[in-house]
């Protein structure tokens, strides 16, 4: 006879729970039998003020251990995606609207707005003669023109410095 799949799926878990329950019941019986002489002969001889102090000390120790576990859990947990994203965006300064770039709070230069959206920190390279900025990330390669740049007039030739050796 074949066991139905739903029963076969839960059968090992049910056996484990039954085994742990039996071990717990037998363990509690053993502890109760071992502690009975303590509660009948020794416990009545301990003053109530001392028992109250010991119980308060135990409660304080449990609370402190609980707080320590919570502290360790929070310190060693991985940050969520929202926290990572917020920390990434917080490192940037202001958006320079006329140039279309971001500044960084601690590093010099301008940073690519397209890469910032994709959570990449990409410093843009300033092109020669101040024509604009180019993102060096292979997937992006965004070019932003400098609004202050003036094109040289057609009639003027650009001088080239020749080195004579």
The pLDDT of residue 20 is 97
Q: For 107-154, how does the pLDDT look when each residue is reduced to its tens digit (9 = 90+)?
A: 888 888 888 888 888 888 888 877 888 888 888 888 888 777 777 776
How confident is the model over 77-118, as pLDDT tens digits?
888 888 888 988 888 988 888 888 888 888 888 888 888 888
Instruction: Classify residue 104 as exposed, middle or buried by CB count within 10 Å of its CB (0-12, 13-18, 19+).
Output: middle
Q: Is the pLDDT of residue 158 over 60?
A: no
To the nearest 10°, report the CA torsion of 92, 93, 97, 98. Answer: -110
Please give the pLDDT value at position 43.
86
Closest C-alpha among 106, 101, 113 to residue 146:
101
Provide the 10 A C-beta neighbour count for residue 109. Answer: 13
pLDDT mean over 12-41 = 94
* Whole-number pLDDT of residue 63: 98
Q: Is the pTM of this model over 0.75?
A: no
């Amino acid at each position: 006879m074949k066991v139905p799949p739903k029963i076969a799926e839960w059968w090992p878990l049910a056996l484990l729970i039954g085994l742990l329950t039996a071990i717990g019941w037998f363990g509690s019986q053993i502890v109760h039998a071992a502690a009975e002489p303590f509660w009948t002969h020794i416990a009545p001889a301990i003053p109530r003020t001392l028992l109250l102090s010991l119980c308060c000390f135990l409660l304080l120790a449990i609370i402190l251990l609980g707080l320590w576990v919570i502290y360790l859990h929070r310190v060693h947990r991985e940050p969520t995606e929202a926290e990572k994203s917020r920390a990434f965006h917080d490192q940037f300064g202001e958006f320079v609207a006329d140039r279309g770039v971001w500044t960084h709070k601690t590093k010099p230069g301008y940073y690519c707005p397209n890469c910032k959206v994709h959570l990449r920190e990409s410093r843009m390279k300033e092109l020669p003669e101040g024509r604009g900025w180019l993102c060096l990330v292979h997937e992006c390669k965004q070019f932003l023109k400098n609004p202050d740049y003036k094109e040289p007039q057609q009639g003027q030739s650009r001088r080239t410095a020749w080195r004579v050796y």
